[in-house]
Amino acid sequence: MQSTSVGAESQNSLYEQVVDSYGPALDRLARAYELDADARRDLLQDIHLQLWRSFAYFDQRCSLRTWVYRVAHNVATKHVMRQRRIRDRLVNIENFDFLPGSDQAELAASQAEALGRLSMLIQRLKPLDRQIIVSYLEGMDASSIGEITGLSPANISMKVHRIKNILKRWFGEGGPNAE
Protein backbone atom coordinates (compact mmCIF):
# COMPACT_ATOMS: atom_id res chain seq x y z
CA MET A 1 0.00 0.00 0.00
CA GLN A 2 1.29 3.41 -1.01
CA SER A 3 1.46 5.76 1.91
CA THR A 4 1.62 9.51 1.86
CA SER A 5 3.82 11.18 4.37
CA VAL A 6 2.16 14.10 6.09
CA GLY A 7 4.00 17.04 7.59
CA ALA A 8 5.16 17.16 11.19
CA GLU A 9 2.60 19.84 12.00
CA SER A 10 -0.24 17.79 10.62
CA GLN A 11 1.07 14.73 12.49
CA ASN A 12 1.06 16.68 15.75
CA SER A 13 -2.37 18.21 15.21
CA LEU A 14 -3.82 14.80 14.32
CA TYR A 15 -2.38 13.36 17.47
CA GLU A 16 -3.81 16.16 19.63
CA GLN A 17 -7.19 15.73 17.95
CA VAL A 18 -7.13 12.00 18.66
CA VAL A 19 -6.15 12.47 22.30
CA ASP A 20 -9.11 14.80 22.76
CA SER A 21 -11.61 12.60 20.93
CA TYR A 22 -10.43 9.08 21.70
CA GLY A 23 -8.32 9.43 24.86
CA PRO A 24 -10.86 7.77 27.19
CA ALA A 25 -11.62 5.03 24.62
CA LEU A 26 -7.90 4.25 24.30
CA ASP A 27 -7.69 4.07 28.07
CA ARG A 28 -10.52 1.51 28.10
CA LEU A 29 -8.91 -0.42 25.25
CA ALA A 30 -5.67 -0.72 27.26
CA ARG A 31 -7.72 -2.02 30.18
CA ALA A 32 -9.10 -4.77 27.95
CA TYR A 33 -5.59 -6.02 27.26
CA GLU A 34 -3.80 -5.50 30.55
CA LEU A 35 -5.12 -5.80 34.10
CA ASP A 36 -1.98 -4.78 35.93
CA ALA A 37 -2.00 -1.01 36.47
CA ASP A 38 1.72 -0.41 35.89
CA ALA A 39 1.88 -2.61 32.80
CA ARG A 40 -1.28 -0.94 31.53
CA ARG A 41 0.30 2.49 31.84
CA ASP A 42 3.25 1.25 29.78
CA LEU A 43 0.91 -0.24 27.22
CA LEU A 44 -1.07 2.98 26.99
CA GLN A 45 2.12 4.97 26.50
CA ASP A 46 3.15 2.56 23.77
CA ILE A 47 -0.24 2.91 22.06
CA HIS A 48 0.05 6.70 22.12
CA LEU A 49 3.60 6.57 20.87
CA GLN A 50 2.79 4.27 17.95
CA LEU A 51 -0.27 6.35 17.10
CA TRP A 52 1.79 9.52 16.99
CA ARG A 53 4.37 7.80 14.77
CA SER A 54 1.69 6.31 12.54
CA PHE A 55 0.14 9.71 11.75
CA ALA A 56 3.17 10.46 9.62
CA TYR A 57 1.68 7.92 7.19
CA PHE A 58 -2.02 8.59 7.59
CA ASP A 59 -3.38 8.74 4.03
CA GLN A 60 -7.11 9.21 4.80
CA ARG A 61 -8.09 6.06 2.93
CA CYS A 62 -10.04 5.06 6.01
CA SER A 63 -11.63 7.18 8.72
CA LEU A 64 -9.50 8.53 11.53
CA ARG A 65 -11.45 6.40 14.01
CA THR A 66 -10.77 3.20 12.07
CA TRP A 67 -7.08 4.10 11.83
CA VAL A 68 -6.82 4.85 15.54
CA TYR A 69 -8.49 1.61 16.58
CA ARG A 70 -6.45 -0.50 14.14
CA VAL A 71 -3.16 0.88 15.38
CA ALA A 72 -4.23 0.65 19.03
CA HIS A 73 -5.47 -2.93 18.69
CA ASN A 74 -2.34 -3.95 16.81
CA VAL A 75 -0.07 -2.55 19.51
CA ALA A 76 -2.16 -4.20 22.23
CA THR A 77 -2.25 -7.52 20.34
CA LYS A 78 1.52 -7.49 20.14
CA HIS A 79 1.60 -6.83 23.88
CA VAL A 80 -0.52 -9.96 24.54
CA MET A 81 1.43 -12.09 22.08
CA ARG A 82 4.65 -11.33 23.92
CA GLN A 83 3.33 -12.90 27.14
CA ARG A 84 3.47 -16.61 26.47
CA ARG A 85 1.98 -17.75 29.78
CA ILE A 86 -1.10 -15.61 29.22
CA ARG A 87 -1.30 -16.18 25.47
CA ASP A 88 -1.48 -19.97 25.71
CA ARG A 89 -4.56 -19.88 27.95
CA LEU A 90 -6.71 -17.67 25.75
CA VAL A 91 -9.83 -19.02 24.05
CA ASN A 92 -12.01 -18.16 21.06
CA ILE A 93 -15.43 -16.72 21.71
CA GLU A 94 -16.90 -19.92 20.17
CA ASN A 95 -15.13 -22.03 22.80
CA PHE A 96 -15.99 -19.80 25.69
CA ASP A 97 -17.86 -22.17 27.94
CA PHE A 98 -17.15 -20.70 31.35
CA LEU A 99 -20.50 -20.13 33.00
CA PRO A 100 -20.81 -17.78 35.95
CA GLY A 101 -21.76 -19.27 39.27
CA SER A 102 -25.21 -18.68 40.68
CA ASP A 103 -23.99 -15.75 42.75
CA GLN A 104 -22.29 -14.20 39.74
CA ALA A 105 -25.44 -14.39 37.66
CA GLU A 106 -27.18 -12.04 40.03
CA LEU A 107 -26.97 -8.31 39.62
CA ALA A 108 -23.56 -6.96 40.44
CA ALA A 109 -23.43 -5.21 43.81
CA SER A 110 -21.33 -2.34 42.53
CA GLN A 111 -20.00 -0.77 39.37
CA ALA A 112 -16.49 -1.92 40.28
CA GLU A 113 -17.61 -5.51 40.73
CA ALA A 114 -19.48 -5.50 37.43
CA LEU A 115 -16.50 -3.98 35.66
CA GLY A 116 -14.21 -6.55 37.26
CA ARG A 117 -16.43 -9.34 36.00
CA LEU A 118 -16.51 -7.86 32.50
CA SER A 119 -12.72 -7.43 32.49
CA MET A 120 -12.27 -11.03 33.59
CA LEU A 121 -14.35 -12.20 30.65
CA ILE A 122 -12.45 -10.05 28.14
CA GLN A 123 -9.06 -11.10 29.46
CA ARG A 124 -9.80 -14.73 28.64
CA LEU A 125 -10.34 -14.10 24.94
CA LYS A 126 -7.89 -14.32 22.06
CA PRO A 127 -6.85 -10.96 20.56
CA LEU A 128 -9.20 -10.95 17.59
CA ASP A 129 -12.27 -11.78 19.67
CA ARG A 130 -11.10 -9.27 22.24
CA GLN A 131 -11.08 -6.59 19.52
CA ILE A 132 -14.64 -7.49 18.60
CA ILE A 133 -16.01 -7.46 22.14
CA VAL A 134 -14.24 -4.17 22.95
CA SER A 135 -15.59 -2.57 19.76
CA TYR A 136 -19.05 -3.89 20.60
CA LEU A 137 -18.85 -2.51 24.12
CA GLU A 138 -17.74 0.84 22.69
CA GLY A 139 -21.05 0.90 20.85
CA MET A 140 -19.84 0.26 17.30
CA ASP A 141 -21.98 -1.44 14.67
CA ALA A 142 -21.00 -4.52 12.63
CA SER A 143 -19.66 -2.58 9.64
CA SER A 144 -17.40 -0.39 11.81
CA ILE A 145 -16.07 -3.45 13.61
CA GLY A 146 -15.51 -5.08 10.21
CA GLU A 147 -13.47 -2.08 9.01
CA ILE A 148 -11.21 -2.30 12.03
CA THR A 149 -10.76 -6.04 12.24
CA GLY A 150 -10.98 -7.00 8.58
CA LEU A 151 -13.67 -9.62 9.20
CA SER A 152 -16.78 -9.84 7.04
CA PRO A 153 -20.06 -8.41 8.40
CA ALA A 154 -21.47 -11.97 8.48
CA ASN A 155 -18.62 -13.14 10.68
CA ILE A 156 -18.94 -10.10 12.89
CA SER A 157 -22.68 -10.65 13.30
CA MET A 158 -22.11 -14.27 14.23
CA LYS A 159 -19.51 -13.36 16.82
CA VAL A 160 -21.51 -10.43 18.21
CA HIS A 161 -24.50 -12.76 18.60
CA ARG A 162 -22.32 -15.14 20.59
CA ILE A 163 -20.93 -12.26 22.67
CA LYS A 164 -24.44 -11.05 23.45
CA ASN A 165 -25.44 -14.51 24.63
CA ILE A 166 -22.42 -14.75 26.89
CA LEU A 167 -23.00 -11.26 28.29
CA LYS A 168 -26.63 -12.13 28.88
CA ARG A 169 -25.57 -15.12 30.95
CA TRP A 170 -23.09 -13.00 32.88
CA PHE A 171 -25.15 -9.89 33.43
CA GLY A 172 -28.77 -10.95 33.21
CA GLU A 173 -31.43 -10.11 30.69
CA GLY A 174 -31.18 -6.34 30.76
CA GLY A 175 -27.73 -6.12 29.25
CA PRO A 176 -26.78 -6.56 25.68
CA ASN A 177 -29.87 -5.52 23.87
CA ALA A 178 -28.50 -2.90 21.50
CA GLU A 179 -27.09 -3.79 18.09
Partner 1 sequence: MPNESPMNDPRNIWQNQPKEPFKMSVDEMRLKAHRFQMKARLTAATGITSALAVCIFFAWSFARTHEVLPRMGFGLISLCGIFMAFQTYKWVWPSNLPPDTPVSTSLEFYRSELERRRDFSRHIWRRTGLTYLFLGLAMVVVPALIEAFGAPRLLLNMVPFFLLLITWFVLFFRGKKRNQRKLQQEIDELRAFERDR
Site for partner 1, rule CB under 8 A: 1, 3, 5, 12, 15-16, 19, 23-24, 27-28, 31, 37, 40-41, 44-45, 48-50, 52-54, 56-57, 59, 61-62, 67, 70-71, 73-74, 77-78, 81, 92, 107-108, 110-111, 114-115, 118, 126-128, 131, 136-139, 147-152, 154-155, 167, 170-176, 178
Which amino acid, 80? V
Which of 165, 164, 166, 140 is closest to 153 using CA atoms? 140
Torsion of CA 109, 117, 50, 25, to 10 degrees: -40
Closest CA to 97 of 166, 173, 167, 176: 166
Whose Cβ is closer to partner 1: residue 37's or residue 102's?
A: 37
Least gap, CB of 105 to partner 1 (angstroms)? 11
Min CB(58)–partner 1 separation in Å: 8
Closer to partner 1 by CB, 101 or 111: give it: 111
Query: Can you give the C-alpha Rg of the chain in angstroms?
Result: 17
- Please give the Cα distance from 44 to 123 (Å, whole number): 16
